[in-house]
């Protein structure tokens, strides 16, 4: 019986996909899992690599190889459209084709947590960031910073400060709501977190689980500034409605941060403004989390 469905979406990830698939296949666990892959008509050889792996692991790897690119046709949410509906597992793990797992016990650790904690809907962990344009690209890996470390978090904490990334996610399939956000043109990982935590908590595993590759071909790194900002604003407006405006101020702060960050690459002035505001924003989040802990 399949316990976990690993959902992976790819497009022109030939440079990364072998490392991604090897990270899935190296998992040491006492349950069965499946690997569901959706390739959006890659033209760089990604599909051939996926087919090679699927041929060697036909009982585990189950690909969908599109002949025509669906993203260019306006489709979004490829996991929601093509992977989640065919998932047989009780739990869903996620990792895009240009990222990879580095802990062979990732799935076992996270499954044990969900099996033993009925109030937890999502398990995340530490992730290291590898940036293509950094001078130390081939060497040091960078971590996301978690400002207030503890094990259990609420939905509002993730809205205040995004402290993990998609490649670490494992969540209960039963907690995912198909109609939570109608239009997800931005930040699919944020949508997943907010979706599954409307009635459950987040557990944070304080060890490195995955690597997040940031490169110029990433969808999230596309330079269409106004389009990117509008998608961000549309997403946060929907979240505001779905959460009954309970987190309105924090969401407005996120929208403002999105506006500044989309202008980050335009010139030095916006870059400096981004860093200054981010320092202020992070200090505010640290203070709010400390204050909440003191009240509790």
> What is the per-residue pLDDT across 42-55, written as a single tens digit (0 to 9) for each?
999 999 999 999 99
User: What value does the mean pLDDT take over residues 180-189?
Assistant: 61
The matching CATH number, chosen from 3.40.50.300, 3.90.550.10, 3.40.50.700, 1.10.10.1110, for 2-221 is 3.90.550.10
**Please, which pLDDT band fits residue 261 given cuts at 50, 70 and 90?**
low
Does residue 231 surpass a pLDDT of 70?
Answer: no
Q: What are residue 166's phi and psi, to 5 degrees?
A: -50, -40
How far, in Å, CA of 252 to CA of 236, rounded?
8
Q: 100 near 16, Cβ under 8 Å?
A: yes
Sorted by sequence, the CB contacts under 8 Å of residue 282 that are 6+ apart come out as 145, 147, 161
How far, in Å, CA of 230 to CA of 36, rounded?
31
User: What value does the mean pLDDT take over residues 225-249?
Assistant: 65
User: What value does the mean pLDDT take over residues 180-202?
Assistant: 77
pLDDT at 2: 97
pLDDT at 139: 43
> What is the per-residue pLDDT across 104-150, written as a single tens digit (0 to 9) for each?
999 999 999 999 999 999 999 988 888 776 655 444 445 554 445 67
pLDDT at 137: 47
Burial-class residue 61 by CB neighbours within 10 Å (0-12, 13-18, 19+): buried
**Please, which pLDDT band fits residue 182 given cuts at 50, 70 and 90?**
low
Q: What is the pTM of this model?
A: 0.81
User: The tokens 């909440």 sit on which residue?
Assistant: 292
Q: What are residue 235's phi and psi, to 5 degrees?
A: -60, -50
Which residues in the chain are classed under CATH 3.90.550.10? 2-221
Q: Residue 222: helix, strand or coil by DSSP?
A: coil
């Amino acid at each position: 019986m399949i316990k976990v469905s690993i959902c992976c979406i790819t497009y022109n990830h030939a440079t990364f996909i072998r490392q991604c698939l090897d990270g899935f296949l190296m998992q040491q666990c006492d349950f069965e899992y499946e690997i569901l892959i959706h390739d959006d008509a890659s033209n760089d050889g990604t599909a051939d690599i996926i087919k090679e792996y699927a041929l060697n692991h036909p009982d585990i790897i189950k690909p969908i190889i599109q002949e025509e690119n669906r993203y260019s046709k306006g489709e979004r949410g490829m996991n929601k459209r093509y992977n989640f509906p065919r998932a047989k597992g009780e739990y869903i793990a996620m990792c895009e084709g240009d990222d990879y797992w580095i802990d062979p016990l990732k799935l076992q650790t996270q499954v044990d947590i969900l099996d033993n904690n009925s109030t937890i809907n999502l398990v995340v962990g530490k992730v290291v960031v590898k940036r293509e344009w950094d001078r130390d690209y081939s060497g040091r890996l960078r971590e996301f910073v978690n400002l207030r470390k503890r094990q259990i978090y609420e939905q509002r904490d993730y809205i205040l400060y995004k402290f993990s990334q998609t490649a670490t996610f494992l969540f209960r399939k039963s907690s995912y709501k198909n109609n939570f956000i109608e239009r997800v043109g931005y930040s699919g990982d944020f949508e997943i977190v907010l979706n599954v935590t409307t009635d459950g908590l987040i557990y944070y595993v304080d060890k490195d689980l995955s690597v997040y590759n940031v490169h110029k071909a990433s969808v999230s790194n596309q330079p269409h500034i106004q389009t990117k900002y509008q998608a961000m604003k549309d997403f946060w407006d929907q979240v505001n409605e779905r959460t009954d405006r309970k987190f309105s101020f924090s969401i407005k702060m996120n929208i403002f941060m999105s506006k500044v960050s989309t202008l980050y690459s335009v010139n030095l002035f916006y870059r400096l403004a981004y860093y200054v505001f981010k320092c202020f924003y992070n200090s505010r989040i640290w203070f709010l989390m400390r204050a909440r802990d003191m009240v509790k």
